[in-house]
Structure 1
């Protein structure tokens, strides 16, 4: 567990922000303003993966918003996420004066993985490992940028849902968690964004098809995190990164400026 007095903020970003260089720069500039508040970035990169798979004449399959990862696609997926996407974020962060370092979930034994039982191919189910590497980086003012590529006990690389990866890193560091998406939270049946959402409401909205696709996986990951951490998890838009300043400068449990707050059961 981290020994810093201020709880780190784990921010999960997805592939959509990576298609908008100005949006990524805006987010990183906000992170640079968080002097004295450690931040860890966890990222996916589905759009980049899809493009690289298409170039290699592979098709992309998803089940309930989760990527199916056949073994023959894993070299491309790991190269896209732990290579192209990760190093692009690191390079952009460093160009803005941050001291970023690129990692995968396997580095330093920070996250352990076992094969998912959801019939998704080489998809890993993560669990918290050793925080020593991240503790060291945070103490010395580095910005860890972590891709959602992990490894099984035998060394085989696996793809991990980036929301699940962010939850585990949050657990590992006893951190606050912010899931950034391309919408400003989770919508209810009336089409309006919900300030809060609990498991009962979420299950109803999933059954009704109001919450669907990738948002289903995101909400389920946030619900699991809220339950495990016993506090609410924010789901907000990367289009308004200034909200992060509000999140860390106020009582996060009471802040309504940060999208939808997913509540523990």
Structure 2
């Protein structure tokens, strides 16, 4: 039987409030078995960009990254956000190591070609160094990935954190039973965004198509759900969306994504 690996992605919104950081890191540190953390930092990057006079641009939930925006992303994602989480996890006895895709060549990406939309220095993942990550896990290290990759020629690339989490789970599925968990501020995917209690317990491909057709899925949720289904199609065993409480055994309120 393959060992279980949980790949947990946390949204950058949690980093803006100390109480949310504490609740998430406590739940994550208590999660049993092998685990990988992937985090965002978009809210802090947006705020810092504006303070520096760089107006951020986002299309369909994805950030457009020019040269100035990339500098801000590196400052926030690989710096403040990453080390804030790592320091907190270390205080809880979780041996986290903050990394980007460039560190140890763990995630290589290709700069997205300019098309109808030029996303700038945005990377689409080309390969994941699964043996390198497995070595870290075997050494008792918990990798904490920020949303940056590299092209192997010295260029850092901004890469969607949801996609990084999905690709990591897929790459590790040969040697592990992989669980992909997207944690954010809601208890799950909501049928009515104004009603926090309207959590949809299960979404399959047909239900997703229906929700999209009826305009029931918010723009920021679209790429997340897309990554969920891709992960399942490529061998990930389970995918969930919900609040950090879903990391706690016995917690029942969440959205499971199924094929």
Is contact 2:56-2:69 (8 Å) kept?
no
Quote the residue 1:134 is aligned against: 133
Secondary structure class of the residue paired with 1:93: helix
Is contact 1:185-1:259 (8 Å) kept?
yes
Q: Structure 1: give runs of 5+ residues left out of the alignment.
A: 248-255
Quote the residue 1:144 is aligned against: 143
Q: Given the alignment, which residue of 184, 200, 206 partners 2:187?
A: 184
**CA 1:77–1:169: 2 relative to 1, 3 Å:** same
Deviation for aligned residue 1:5: 4.2
The normalised TM-score by structure 1 is 0.87
Indicate the larger mover: 17-26 or 85-94: 17-26
Structure 1 Cα separation of the partners of residues 170 and 185 of structure 2: 24
**CA 1:182–1:228: 2 relative to 1, 3 Å:** same
Moved over 6 A (4+): none
Secondary structure class of the residue paired with 1:141: coil
Is contact 1:128-1:171 (8 Å) kept?
no
Deviation for aligned residue 1:184: 1.2
Q: What does residue range 1-265 of structure 1 map to in structure 2 within 5 Å?
A: 5-35=2-32, 37-117=33-113, 119-174=118-173, 175-188=178-191, 192-229=198-235, 231-238=237-244, 240=245, 243-246=246-249, 257=252, 259-264=254-259
Is contact 2:31-2:247 (8 Å) kept?
no
Task: Give the RMSD, CA atoms, in angstroms.
Answer: 2.0
Is contact 2:128-2:168 (8 Å) kept?
no
Q: Deviations over 1:12-68 (max 9, x none)?
A: 001111112222222222233334x01110011111101110111111111111111
Is contact 1:123-1:160 (8 Å) kept?
yes
**CA 1:136–1:258: 2 relative to 1, 3 Å:** farther
Deviation for aligned residue 1:181: 1.3
Structure 2 Cα separation of the partners of residues 208 and 64 of structure 1: 17
Is contact 1:188-1:210 (8 Å) kept?
yes
Number of residue equivalences: 249
Is contact 1:197-1:263 (8 Å) kept?
yes
**CA 1:91–1:230: 2 relative to 1, 3 Å:** closer
Structure 2 Cα separation of the partners of residues 221 and 47 of structure 1: 21
Structure 2 Cα separation of the partners of residues 52 and 259 of structure 1: 32
Secondary structure class of the residue paired with 1:145: strand
